[in-house]
A = this chain, B = another copy of it.
Amino acid sequence: MTVAEKKKPIAERLLEGDRNAVARLITWAENGDTRFHQALAGIYPELGRARRLGVTGPPGAGKSTLVNELVGELRREDRQVGVLAVDPSSPFTGGALLGDRIRMESRTIDPGVFIRSMASRDSHGGLARATIDACDVMDAFGFDDVLIETVGVGQAEYDVVSAADTVVVVLCPGAGDSIQAMKSGLLEVADIIVVNKNDLPGAQRMVVDLEEAVHIRLAGKGRWITPVVTCSAGRGEAVADVLAEISRHGEHLGEQGLSALRTQKRAGQVRLAVGELIDDYLWGEAGYSQRVASELDAGRTPYEVAGEIRDAVLRGERP
């Protein structure tokens, strides 16, 4: 790399297809580095070309295997694909069983594919924000599709929901799994439900149960009815059907619908960012935790202390 190239703004290098710029910018996003905000301003007008697909589901449902197969299908159409693995137990990030990991490696040497795992240390909602940022980077780089994989446990699926145009929830047949998915709120975030491992007993019954649950919830004229499709990602069967539903969801949204959806998700991103900024402002001050601790030691409840801090902030005072 020449000195002149090094001096080039990173946003420009990204738009020119520099893979190092992708990696660097995602690291900045993960670290909440403010240089990211500046770079984003440089790429923001170029965003919106990539299709952003989220894949989530409980552990063991076969998310990574499905993502791997989807990447294969998309590559056959000669589309460039970025993969973001937010799930730390994903084989893409080095987790899960050795066999899976080796299978995934055939993707990592394909120059039309870029795989990146997201660190998941942060506890204040920063991961959801960083996931959106990473999608923006991959979009600006020029990937046709960005696949985001995250585990659907606790609140982790919101990382996918806040970043994706289309959310695919992957389940597999097993005792009580459809009930569990309903209870946990996973179905509510699904645009498409995939019953993976369709050769397992109970797959057809599960489809019927899920369809019923979805139809009760979402009946309404012109509304998207979440389809329930089956496949076997492990044997590479019917993965094209999943992709067909993804395309159909995109067509259903249309240009206007997609644009409205994205603005709504951007507003969610603003909300996350405001939360982080105010949190940084308050708790980034040296000794602030200590001051709060001494108020607590005086026997006041956390909510009394929190209420006063809020009031002070909203009066424009430094609490």
In the complex, chain A residues 265-302 whose Cβ is within 8 Å of any chain B Cβ: 266-267, 269-271, 273-275, 277-279, 281-283, 289, 292-293, 296-297, 299, 301-302
Q: Is the CB of A263 within 8 A of B150?
A: no
**Considering only CB atoms and an 8 Å cut-off, how many residues of chain A contact the other chain?**
80
Tell me which residues across on chain B come within 8 A of A89, comparing CB atoms: 58-59, 153, 180, 184
Q: Is the CB of B292 within 8 A of A88?
A: no
Is A44 an interface residue, CB under 8 A from the partner? yes
Q: Which residue of B lies closest to A95 (CB)?
A: B180
Determine chain A's interface SS by DSSP, over half rule: helix
Is A151 an interface residue, CB under 8 A from the partner? yes
Residue of A40, A98, A101, A153 contacting most chain B CB atoms (<10 Å) = A153
Q: Is the CB of B176 within 8 A of A98?
A: yes
Q: Is the CB of B304 within 8 A of A153?
A: no
Tell me which residues across on chain B come within 8 A of A279, comparing CB atoms: 271, 274-275
In the complex, chain A residues 97-147 whose Cβ is within 8 Å of any chain B Cβ: 97-98, 101, 120-125, 127-128
Q: Is the CB of A303 within 8 A of B40?
A: yes
Tell me which residues across on chain B come within 8 A of A124, comparing CB atoms: 125, 275
Is A204 an interface residue, CB under 8 A from the partner? no
Bitwise, A15-44 to B at CB < 8 A (1) or not (0) is: 000000000000000000000010011001
Tell me which residues across on chain B come within 8 A of A303, comparing CB atoms: 37, 40-41, 273
Tell me the smallest distance from the CB of A269 to a CB of chain B, in Å. Answer: 4
Give the interface of A toward B (CB within 8 A): 37, 40-41, 44-45, 58-60, 86-89, 93-98, 101, 120-125, 127-128, 150-151, 153-156, 158-159, 162, 174-176, 179-180, 183-185, 263-264, 266-267, 269-271, 273-275, 277-279, 281-283, 289, 292-293, 296-297, 299, 301-307, 309-310, 313-317
Tell me the smallest distance from the CB of A183 to a CB of chain B, in Å. Answer: 7
Q: Residue A310 contacts which of B58, B60, B277 (CB distance < 8 angstroms)?
A: B277
Nearest 3 Cβ contacts at the A-B interface? A316-B316, A273-B306, A154-B156
The verdict on A267 contacting B296 (CB below 8 Å), with A40-B301, A44-B301 known, is: yes
Q: Residue A121 contacts which of B87, B159, B185, B304 (CB distance < 8 angstroms)?
A: B185
Q: Is the CB of A305 within 8 A of B270?
A: yes
Tell me the smallest distance from the CB of A245 to a CB of chain B, in Å. Answer: 25
Please report the C-alpha to C-alpha distance between residue A121 and residue B182 in the assembled complex, in whole angstroms.
Answer: 12
